[in-house]
Chains A and B, each alone.
Chain A
């Protein structure tokens, strides 16, 4: 600040910025390239002067403004630099193709392993877990007789009606050898729970003939259950396919021409934990020419059906279809 002294008082006249501005303005006015036109000024007055300054000299604190703009742009650039790693959000996490069935521990939603001996016998609640890929549900059933006692499910031979092929169903696991697991995707047209689900013995009766969807049993299914002498069924309400859970999900009635693939379970008797090991039977999806399935149940692992469930898979109980009836 340029000041003058008047007696005791200091009087400010001009601060340095204004002084520099005046210097700059005067230089510009003398410059032949940007000569100040005094005739125009007389004619147009203040407006001409202001326009002239705006055009040729810029604001009073042009340098300062540049510096400020630099600061803002700097932080803007820094912000962009901060956003860039965030763009990773657009890159989907790697879904690795699986070449073999994983060994998956069955866990509940809190992540703790489920105890085989605690699985209720003949539960009407749909109990499923995803295996081997996400989006592929499997039933987890603890089979019993009509009085609710667990029954030992023996190994048996399953025939694929469509091809006549045979394979061996290994039988139940767990403390009573009564726990079995099958794919919960109907082999006919791929219906999933709740349309396909387990009917415990107390629901395999003529009362289910008139039950609302998805709990209707067909008369053929009832008759087939009687002639095969099985107390409980897996039945798909979409088109009426019926499977025998006691004998490797062998088809009891059509329209299906393939048994449900068996998911192989392993029971660790020391910990009471259950593991899913793999799948036997036909492939989960009817693949191959003319709807004839490939015989290799790992066929869908390599393609893009989903990602592997990994070494743990969660058992869920999405609903009890029978509460409404």
Chain B
């Protein structure tokens, strides 16, 4: 027995790792799309750790100047601060991806309803904690965001009591309450995470639709016991994902900060640096934006002067829908095409979220008349509705060939779709025989193309490929594994070089951000090498997607 095996066994026995109620994973689940929750959790832990380091230096009575102090004077303070910000960004984006992916595969269905609801509550807490964290910078953008937030709350007379509870003396520069709430919300996220995680482990990951096409989609204990145990394969795979996530969280913002001089219009999205202080004359030149993850709410606030209606559209209805969807969608089918209404809502939610966010970025705070709202939001709804009515769910037989969609087809169809959308707007703006005459042929072409391409899009993942382990596939896997081994050696060499140079980077100043970039790259290499290790050691030749 090797030393590492001894050490591994020692821990396994002491910690009872295999006795923990952790889900055992079937071979086909080692794909990032099955592990999105782990990515969110990785971002969460990174953000918590970096936040605790920032807590050593942050002074809530001097929010802006202590932010500047952390960036300029604390050794590697800017690295920690920027990656804290981007950790939160990553968490928000990944949480959305995680949520929508589970929405479309129907993971909220029995028995995972409560798991889903806790997840939705966590999303709310994440957005709240992000808003409060953003307010702690105390720059002109943060203070104006708080003004907007406080304005929304105070325009409902019954809610004004919340203002001192939430913000305290924010206006006179005392951020103590906001800091406390920021930490309290994160603690709540942590608490809910424990429930979310253990429930997820309890029910197990969603089996592929091919294995269990109907709710309740759970593996029986009997099936489950044959899968890969949590230790060591899951553990190895999980850590490769965690380190990769951390690497990107560290590398991206620090690279952006190092590149410097980003144009102002990217500010709400990309620039990790704080804007000028609100009391500075420079503040007058800054267009005030909410943080990017609230741009959509900010834009919806322009739709109506009635705050109650705004809150209903922008916050309450979407939230209630998400919380209630497990009870609204009561069918046992998991395939999205058998849940067309919910599929449509999901597509529209994503479309509207992106649309409104971009709109809020392009014209923040400019009131929108109702006709314009209809112009923006109706076409996606019509296209989705027609599209869903048009596509039929077809049960795939065993002799179905794997559908193919060539890149040329895809480009051609995209061009036709864009032309169709453009001519639709032309018809709506200027209904004339000419515009209608252009629109109708394009519409027919669009539907024709859509019909032709339906199988590749909706059936590709259904098509059955008879699993066969040929001698050839074993050999090519061996070849790939050999290559992976070579890559691991190269990664080690590069990581060692970077780790050597990292010691020479000054701890403060502009160059210190290179430390974040380098450390991020090392983390990416570590994550990648663990991933390659997982591939070489555990990947079986007969593993395929189900």
Contacts and interface: CB of A to CB of B under 8 A. Distances in A.
Interface of A: 55, 58, 62, 64-69, 71-72, 74-76, 78-79, 81-83, 85-86, 88-93, 108-110, 134-135, 194, 316-319
A109 B282 CA distance: 8
B93 interface: no
A316 B279 contact: yes
A78 B492 contact: yes
Contact of A78 (B2, B280, B499): B499
B53 A90 contact: yes
A108 B519 contact: no
B507 A74 contact: no
B144 interface: no
28 contacts: A58-B5, A62-B2, A66-B4, A68-B537, A71-B488, A75-B491, A75-B492, A79-B499, A79-B523, A81-B502, A82-B499, A82-B502, A83-B519, A85-B503, A86-B79, A86-B519, A88-B75, A89-B53, A90-B53, A90-B56, A108-B280, A109-B280, A110-B276, A110-B280, A110-B281, A316-B280, A319-B171, A319-B279
Given A82-B522, A92-B57, A135-B62, A109 B533 contact: no
Contacts of B173: 318
Most buried by B among A86, A91, A109, A194: A86
B525 to A, nearest CB: 6
Contacts of A90: 53, 56
A68 B502 contact: no
Nearest to A112: B281
B485 A68 contact: yes
B11 to A, nearest CB: 15
A194 B74 contact: no
Contacts of B507: 85, 88
A57 to B, nearest CB: 11
Contact of B495 (A79, A91, A316): A79
A83 B515 CA distance: 9
A93 B492 contact: no
A86 B523 contact: no
Interface string B62-84: 10010000000111110110000
Contacts of B492: 71, 74-75, 78
Contacts of A91: 75
Shortest Cβ-Cβ A-B pairs, 3 listed = A109-B280, A88-B75, A82-B499
Interface in B392-449: none
A317 B282 CA distance: 13
Most buried by B among A69, A79, A92, A316: A79
A68 B62 contact: no
A88 B65 CA distance: 21
Nearest to A17: B478
B498 interface: yes
Contacts of A317: 279
Nearest to A71: B488
A14 to B, nearest CB: 13
B305 interface: no
B118 to A, nearest CB: 33
A52 B231 CA distance: 21
A86 B276 CA distance: 27
Nearest to B489: A71
B277 interface: yes
B257 interface: no
A118 B502 CA distance: 47
B471 to A, nearest CB: 8
B292 to A, nearest CB: 25
A88 to B, nearest CB: 4
A320 to B, nearest CB: 11
Interface in B467-516: 485, 488-489, 491-492, 495-496, 498-499, 502-503, 505, 507-508, 515
B361 interface: no
Given A72-B533, A75-B529, A109-B279, A82 B488 contact: no
A204 B231 CA distance: 76
Given A72-B533, A88-B75, A79 B279 contact: no
Given A82-B498, A85-B515, A318 B279 contact: yes
Most buried by A among B57, B488, B499: B499
Contacts of A58: 1-2, 5
A89 B495 contact: no
B533 A89 contact: no
Contacts of B4: 66, 69
A68 B518 contact: no
B533 A69 contact: yes
A79 B57 CA distance: 25
B129 interface: no
Contacts of A316: 277, 279-280
B526 interface: yes
A71 B528 CA distance: 12
Given A91-B75, A93-B75, A319-B172, A85 B502 contact: yes
A111 B197 CA distance: 50
Contacts of A88: 75-76, 507
Contacts of B57: 92
Contacts of A108: 280-281
B75 A109 contact: no
Nearest to B501: A82
Contacts of A319: 171-172, 279
